Amino acid sequence: ANSFDEECDYLFKAILIGDSAVGKSNLLSRFAKDEFSLDSKPTIGVEFAYRNIRVGGKLIKAQIWDTAGQERFRAITSSYYRGALGALLVYDVTRRSTFESLRRWLKELREFGSPEMVVVLVGNKSDLEGSRVVKLEDGRSLAQLEQVSFMETSAKDNLNVEDAFIEMITRIYEITS
């Protein structure tokens, strides 16, 4: 390990999950690099991104995994979930089918993920208010039912993106420390 890594108190693995094109890769690039792209290019080469966050006086290195598009074929392998302490479960507020898929994603998270995994439900593309089909209240109710945190975000306008990741990382810190 280099000296940079040695300064970190914790290393957390977290994952992004949810249907294709809900904005997972753009949420991650916004959080890790403050970048957004209008093209829907599949993730090329990059398996994960890092960002260091200070929580409760500790320096946490968050390693956040993105899919390379396997979710389109429902072919995410168990190694993607292995060791993950947190997940951002993402849907698109302008596509009802992505909200309806959440039940299946939650089932998969419980099957392959660790039982104490921190899940944050994220309704992305909140900037597209005119095309919205999933109400804020729908997301909130589901989150309450499933006992997970919830936030609506816009990777495009950079709304709540930081908050969603920080919520997940803070909750991981709380359960592991």
* Distance between start and end Cα atoms, the chain: 22
Q: Are strands 149-152 and 118-124 parallel, antiparallel or unpaired?
A: parallel
**Interface map 97-136 toward ligand GDP (x if CB under 6 A):** ---------------------------xx-xx--------
Question: Could you give the angle at the alpha carbon of 52 between the alpha carbons of 175 and 31, nearest 5°?
Answer: 95
Q: Among residues 8 and 76, whose Cβ is nearest to ligand GDP?
A: 76
Stretch touching ligand GDP by CB under 6 A, among 24-32, 55-63, 98-106, 167-175: 24-32
Site for ligand GDP contains 152 (CB under 6 A): no
Site for ligand GDP contains 154 (CB under 6 A): yes
Nearest to 41 by CA among 18, 69, 60, 64: 69
Give the count of beta carbons closer than 10 Å to the beta carbon of residue 16.
25
Distances (CA, A) of 72 to 76, 94, 151, 155: 9, 18, 24, 20
Site for ligand GDP contains 156 (CB under 6 A): yes
**Interface map 52-91 toward ligand GDP (x if CB under 6 A):** ----------------------------------------
Which residues make up the interface to ligand GDP (CB under 6 A)? 20-26, 37-38, 40, 124-125, 127-128, 154-156
